[in-house]
Amino acid sequence: MTSQSAVESTGGVGQSARALARVIVPPVVVLAGVIGVWYFMSYRGLSDSQRFILPPPHEVFSDGMLTWKPLKEILEGLWATTVVVVVGLIISIIVGMAIAILMSRARWIERTIFPYAVALQTIPIIAITPIIGLWLGFAFNARVLVTVIISIFPVITNTLFGLQAADRNLHELFTLHKASSNTRLWKLELPAAQPAIFTGFRIAAGLAVTGAIVGEFFFRGGQEKGIGRLISFYQNRLQIDRLMSAIVLSSLLGVVLFLIVGAIGDRATRHWAPGRRR
């Protein structure tokens, strides 16, 4: 038993180190590749006078991220954007789930609402900017609305899909015991839908970051200076190093949110949801 546990323990340490390597190494390798291409394009693709268009990575890193003043500005912008993202995401989740639940009650409701949900997703924001401005002004509320418009669709479709996925045998069991439609919703359909619902949240989280930044492009009012506004600012002044830094950190925000929502979802369904393939 002792010799076996000794083998198991070295195996264990070795095993988790290997598992960690499996997660970290591929993205890092890809990153190294990307940076390599970046250097190539910056030094070989551009002449010295053009190099400001795409500065090499180390310049972006030192000027854009390691210098405190720009970094502070970018981080403050990121914070302001995060507030918009979170508020927008929460609204998307509540409204999106409500719409999906409504659609799940009857096929005719689903058919009626669905085209509007699709249309919502495809509206070019620039086209409806005046309407939103008229209704909600050009500041925080408008930005949140844009975030909601861009991120709500996956919440609706994934929730609806999940609600309709409950096993037929389970429905029969509930019918046998004369369960009301509400009971069915709370005790059967919603719990069964959890994996799909959280997948919807994950996708919506990423879209919400995009949505908030787009909102900040079109609605610049109010005191908050979100990262979208900063990106536009740096673009106009051709401060490419800060621009790239802002873009990289925005992407990071999206990734972090995605992972957080994913972790919450995995934890909530850990006892029963089919595990994601490793």
Residues that bind another protein (CB under 8 A): 167, 169-170, 172-179, 183, 187-188, 191-192, 194, 269, 271-272
**Structure tokens that stand for 140 in this block:** 């925080």
> Residue type at 265?
G
Is 60 or 190 the residue whose CB approaches another protein more closely? 190
Cβ contact 143:226 at 8 Å: yes
Closest CA to 35 of 270, 248, 257, 251: 248
The contacts of residue 46 (CB under 8 Å, 6+ apart) are 53, 54
Is 136 or 170 the residue whose CB approaches another protein more closely? 170
* Alpha-carbon span 111 to 178, nearest angstrom: 28
Which residue bears the tokens 């970290």? 24
**Shortest distance, CB of residue 195 to another protein, whole angstroms?**
10
**Shortest distance, CB of residue 273 to another protein, whole angstroms?**
8
**Shortest distance, CB of residue 272 to another protein, whole angstroms?**
4
Which DSSP category does 50 fall into?
T
Q: Helix 125-136 to helix 140-163 angle, to the nearest 10 degrees?
A: 120
Which 3 state secondary structure label does DSSP give 178? coil
Is 116 or 186 the residue whose CB approaches another protein more closely? 186
**Shortest distance, CB of residue 179 to another protein, whole angstroms?**
5
Is 8 or 172 the residue whose CB approaches another protein more closely? 172
Is 83 or 170 the residue whose CB approaches another protein more closely? 170
Neighbours of 255 (CB within 10 A): 13
Which residue bears the tokens 């495809």? 122
**Shortest distance, CB of residue 185 to another protein, whole angstroms?**
13
**Shortest distance, CB of residue 200 to another protein, whole angstroms?**
18
> Exposed/middle/buried for 140, CB within 10 Å: 0-12, 13-18, 19+?
buried
**Structure tokens that stand for 167 in this block:** 């096993």
Is 107 or 177 the residue whose CB approaches another protein more closely? 177
Cβ contact 258:202 at 8 Å: yes
Is 135 or 186 the residue whose CB approaches another protein more closely? 186
